[in-house]
Structure 1
Amino acid sequence: MNNSRKLNNFKGHKLRFLRNLRGETLESLDKKSNVRSQKISRIELNECVPSFDEIRSLSNALQVSPLFLLNDDQVPTTGGAIFYRKLQRTPKKDFERAELKTRIFALLDQKLSEKLHLSYQDYISFANHDEIFNMLDDEYIENMALCVRSQFKLGDGPISNMTLLIERLGIRVLFADFSNEHIDALTVKINDHFYIAVNSKNISSVRMRFNLAHELGHVLLHSYYSEQEVKKSSVRKVIEAEANYFAGALLMPVKGLALDMIAVNMSYIKKLKKHWKASIQAIVYRGEQINLITSQQALFLRQTIARNSWRKKEPYDDEIPIEYPSFLKSALRYKGDNQLPQKIQEEVGIHDDFFDGLSFSDLNLGKGSLMLLNSRR
């Protein structure tokens, strides 16, 4: 192809998407690509079409194949409110980048799902379908958690695999390295399909289980609220508390925990952690919440947690295994086409090392494994 030839099917909005995803300014991309920042701005606005040399330079700088910028694949769009489980002072650009990572995952997931004839669950009958925010009482949230347990006949005991439970609800789960974005988890609807993405970098399994349950709470309790409603600080504070309550109720139902909590000393609470696969802090909070632990006992237990520096890393954190997503893995095994993810990746124009912390490498898909889900590294 003549380097001076203009390529009329170049997608300017995809260039802007990639630039934002990579956290590049116009000026920083200028330095990396040798394409002037003013020209990049005009390209993104579709005011001019780049030459092939410029496309190649921009693609190299952004670590994608030129195909990504030239093909007809559209990056899926979000719809409705987005829920973030984040640090208090996380910059807006950070959680926006986490959203962009999830949209890239959705692009690959939806192409793969189409090839494998996989379905999504976009309507959960027992979910709260109210569109106007209204504070939910504890009984309602407890009953919502029981509805989930009832649907899958989970009884009153521990949930063996929280990730699998969410996947069985038809929700796609993404494990990713969101440490740079300071995000624990997010829930978003992309092309009318629910996605829950959780940080898997240096996070214990019990914390990830709670984060997953928390995000499922948003899907079931708040997903019909408008984006404008959820953005209100007063509303967000309440729905975060409700999602936390749901997570505790789902992971540790009243009857089951009451039968098991025959003592409230720290030695016994640690044993409960291994059984329920919930953090010591979550067990103490839930026990006090449902009056199995008095306020005075809870205070003493929290003081013990602080004294032992267990707020970030608790006993047995390394012994409880992480529950990796398995839905796509199982579908690929059933289909028997181990090269399909790589083919889709090549069609989209994404290199193997595009993602940071997202991989399919544990699927043993052969050379050029698709970088989708978190590997066991």
Structure 2
Amino acid sequence: MNGPQLDPGDVAALFDRARLRMARELRGLTQVQLAREVGSITAASVSQFENGHSRPATSTLRRLAVALRVPPSFFAAPARPPAQHQLNGFFRSLRSTSPRDRQQALAYVHLARELALELEKHVVLPDLNLPRYPIGEGEPCQSADIEQAAARVRDHWNVSRGPVQDVVRLLEINGTVVVRFRVSIEKVDAFCVDFPDRPVVALGADKGLRDRSRFDAAHELGHLVLHGLRGETRDKGTESQAHEFAAAFLMPAEDIRPELPERLDWPALLHLKARWHVSLAALLVRAKTLGVMSEHAFAQGWKALSVRGWRKVEPGPLGNPEVPVLLQRALELMETTGLSFADFINHSGLPEDDIRTLLGRDISERPRVEF
């Protein structure tokens, strides 16, 4: 067990400006709004605290903790390397996503990393086993390169031929943290942050479709495998590459090519959707990409998806999305050692309500009967 909580004077001495920014962004507040909430400081003071030019007094720290709904000990620097250089992540739809929403979502992902690192003090998490096949920035990229990268990842992870049983579980088994949460953030789709110790993949909880959620998870895996080593790049090219990777990872060419119909055959496509747990739209694109379906047949199918409203809600629902379990199971294992969740929260200094948000939103699947 960790030692007792720090007293306020010690927290002031160990003040970590990154923790203040994280707490503020968790609440979706600007520096001006936080100053207004606290009441006795200015936005300039908040800025100075966050950029390291000054430190808050003990009394100010108490008021900041109340305003931000975190324990005062949250502001103390953790005894590990900071992750300040990993602030951006791979986001989609940047034009429709406000900076405030992105910052709030990123703060939750940073908190997920903090939770994982705190848990590792008490339990052993899976080692990070993430193969990297980077695509050089500015260099031409062939689809064959991405197909090969996806095949190499499957081979590295000993994934047998055919459909991937559970993409989220596969990521977690190989040391990547996956979270699925609702924090009232609009227009933030799935994204990832490539922390060197524990990459985190965040999946939107509002997309309750198993097929699309699996594709999201494979898409973020594509970013980590292809682009992670060169930092965060947000453009149509990298998004297209991650999409190609996801399709190749979920539907390997040599396995699915013989099963795809040459003509538009909805019953056959629905059968493949149920077998591979991918969307009709993804199957159509894959059939065209692999040269099985002609451009004309694909165009007919794509138009039909739109006309019938299947671009939003497809027939053949596959059930609930895959559920991340790594953090929840790590906590349960920790409790078997005699350390309660309440004691863990108390000694870690992490904000309990936010940790419950990260964990509680993961449990969206119907209970499974175990024999």
1:182 counterpart = 2:172: no
TM-score relative to the length of structure 2: 0.83
1:69 pairs with one of 75, 82, 87: 75
1:308 and 2:314 matched: no
Match of 1:284 in 2: 284
Instruction: Determine whether 1:218 maps to 2:223.
Output: yes
Kindly state the Cα deviation for residue 249 of structure 1 after the two structures are TM-superposed.
0.9
Matches within 5 A, 1:250-269: 250-262=249-261, 264-269=264-269
Check whether the contact 2:8–2:73 (CA below 8 A) recurs between aligned residues.
no
Query: AA paired with 1:312?
Result: K
- Residue aligning to 1:101: 108
Q: How far did residue 354 of structure 1 move?
A: 2.4
Moved more, 345-354 or 106-115: 345-354
Give the C-alpha shift of residue 177 in structure 1. Answer: 2.5
Q: Is the 8 A contact 2:178 2:202 kept in 1?
A: yes
Query: More displaced, 156-165 or 87-96?
Result: 87-96
CA deviation profile, 1:27-82 (whole Å, cap 9, x unmatched): 32233222232443444455555454432322121111112124645664344973
Q: Is residue 2:96 matched to residue 1:89?
A: yes
1-structure distance, mates of 2:312, 2:178: 24
Provide, for residues 205-237 of structure 1, a one-character-per-residue CA deviation record: whole Å limited to 9, x for no partner: 21111011111111221222245xx35xxxx22
Return the letter of the residue paired with 1:83: F
Q: Which residue of the partner structure matches residue 19 of structure 2? A: 14
Output the CA distance in 2 between the equivalents of 1:6 and 1:254: 56
Q: Report whether the alignment pairs 1:55 with 2:81.
A: no
- Equivalent AA in structure 2 for residue 177 of structure 1: R
Distance 1:60 1:253 in 2: 52
Look up the match of 2:246: 247
In the alignment, the residues of structure 2 paired with residue 202 and residue 81 of structure 1 have an alpha-carbon distance, to the nearest angstrom, of 22
SS across alignment from 1:196 = strand
Once residues 252 and 197 of structure 1 are traced to their aligned partners in structure 2, the CA distance between those partners, rounded to angstroms, is 22
SS in 2 for 1:120: coil
Contact kept, 8 Å, 1:79 with 1:190, in 2: the verdict is yes
Provide Cα deviations, 1:130-175, integer angstroms capped at 9, x if missing partner: 6544232111211222222223443331111011122233222122
**What whole-Å deviation, never above 9, does each CA across 1:225-279 have from its counterpart, x for those lacking one?**
245xx35xxxx22121111011111111223223333563223322221221111
2:141 and 2:279 map into 1 onto residues whose CA distance is 25
Sort the Cα spacing of 1:354 and 1:26 in 2 relative to 1 into closer, same or farther, 3 A.
same
Q: How many residues are aligned here? A: 356
2: CA distance, partners of 1:339 / 1:316: 45
> Aligned with 1:136: secondary structure?
coil
Distance 1:268 1:88, change over 3 A: farther
CA distance in 2, matches of 1:199, 1:21: 16
SS of the aligned residue for 2:200 comes to: strand
Q: Is the 8 A contact 1:131 1:224 kept in 2?
A: no
Give every structure 1 segment of 4 or more consecutive aligned residues whose post-TM-superposition deviation is greater than 6 Å.
2-6
Partner secondary structure for residue 91 of structure 2: strand
SS at match of 2:25: helix
The 1-side partners of 2:218 and 2:8 are apart by: 52
> How far apart in 1 are the matches of 2:341 and 2:140?
43
Unmatched segments (≥5 aa) in structure 2 = 1-6, 366-371
Q: Distance in 2 between matches of 1:11 and 1:225?
A: 27
TM-score (norm 1): 0.82
Compared CA separation, residues 5 and 163, structure 1 to 2 (3 A): closer
Matched, 1:375 2:363: yes
Deviation at 1:285, TM superposition (A): 0.8
Measure how far apart 1:328 and its partner are: 3.6
For structure 1, the residue ranges without an aligned partner over 5 or more in a row are 362-372
Residue 13 of structure 1 deviates from its aligned partner by 4.0
Pick which of 342-351 and 239-248 moved more. 342-351
1:298 shift after superposition: 1.4
Aligned-partner Cα distance in 2 for 1:156–1:30 = 56
The equivalent of 1:366 in structure 2 is none
CA distance in 1, matches of 2:338, 2:311: 42
- The question of whether the paired residues in 2 share the 8 Å contact of 1:73 and 1:348 is answered with no
| AA partner of residue 165 (structure 1) | L
Structure 1 CA distance, aligned partners of 2:21 and 2:88?
22
Q: What is the 5 A alignment of 1:105-144? A: 105-121=112-128, 124=131, 127-129=132-134, 132-144=137-149
After TM superposition, the structure 1 stretch with the greater mean CA deviation from structure 2, 269-278 or 281-290, is 269-278
How far 1:337 moved relative to its partner? 3.7
